Amino acid sequence: MIRTSHVGSFPFNYTPGLPCRILRELREIGVDAPPYPQLRDFVEIYLEPLVEAGLIEKKAGFYYADPDKLIDAEPPEPSLAEAEEAAYCREDIKWLRGPVTGVFTLASKIYVREGLGLENTLLTNKEIVAGFLKEYVGRAAKKLVGLGYNIVFFDEPILGVMVGRRRILYGYTANEITSVYEEILGEINVEKGIHVCGSISPKLFEILAGINGLDIVNLEFYSSRKNLDRIDPGLLEKTGKKLAPGIASSKQPRIESVDELLGLLEAVAEKAGGRVDLVSADCGFGGLKGMMPDEDLHEIVLGKLRNIVGAVRLYKERHGMG
């Protein structure tokens, strides 16, 4: 079974009813596992509830925290308006994807000192990362499951920066990264994936594939062709994981042809030994916001997803898949 999906974000401002309209359009064009449409920044969605709870502050568009305040704090249940609205109007959608901004990425956006380098963020505080933030992200994931989401994805773009070929930033070990997610994953009984955008190192692929309880690793291939060389089909088979490939650009406001998308899907599937599922664009489409009028962006976004659906349909026909 190979399904189509979308990472999460759309380049539009929230208005009442828009999440349901987008979800209905994704259903109509044949996206198998649509997400709740993220119409705010994917970090903002999960950090604003911490601001409202008085646990962190927002100043000039940046988030700040006193680490001493978070060490023993009780994480709140996040308010997820778009996710709740989409769950209410899912109708007969079989698979509903719930994107959750990951532990390490949230840590990288909360500053504890002046200066905007990663060294000034909560990433440098392992105790809070593996404590408060892990518990908070876990609560968010469980809330989505409670709303009826049966695929939960953790979006961790910062891992592509943290984990290099030879070393991991700020003294983290592979086991420390793995254990954070294994604890979260062990508490939710649905399909679970992790999404990392950009070029990744072989070491990161090995870490992601080795996380117990994780079903799917979602990587981008359209804008990061080097990721084709990171695929280890033997490791995917050994750990029982599938690869969710991004096969269309999330940065270029251009609709790729079905043939172009199919060619990349064939290349990824061959490298992965056929272990592919939840085919999407490289990332969400939030980065396209403001490039052109919303009406034009709307057509481009739907055109990209429609052609991804078409490419997967042709792939299945070629390979005798139902």
pLDDT tens-place string over residues 246-292: 999 999 999 999 999 999 999 999 999 999 999 999 999 999 999 99
- What pLDDT score does 5 carry? 98
DSSP string, 161-205: HHB-SS-BGGG--HHHHHHHHHHHHTT--SEEEEEE-S---HHHH
Report how far apart, in Å, the C-alpha atoms of 47 and of each of 75, 130, 133, 187, 303 are. Answer: 11, 17, 11, 22, 32
pLDDT tens-place string over residues 95-154: 999 999 999 999 999 999 988 899 999 999 999 999 999 999 999 999 999 999 999 999
Q: Are the beta carbons of 137 and 154 closer than 8 angstroms?
A: yes
Q: Is 322 a residue whose pLDDT tops 80?
A: no
The model carries a pTM of 0.96
- What pLDDT score does 1 carry? 86
- What pLDDT score does 248 carry? 98
Domain annotation for the chain: domains and CATH numbers: 18-318 (3.20.20.210)
How many Å separate Cα 58 from the centre of its chain?
Answer: 24
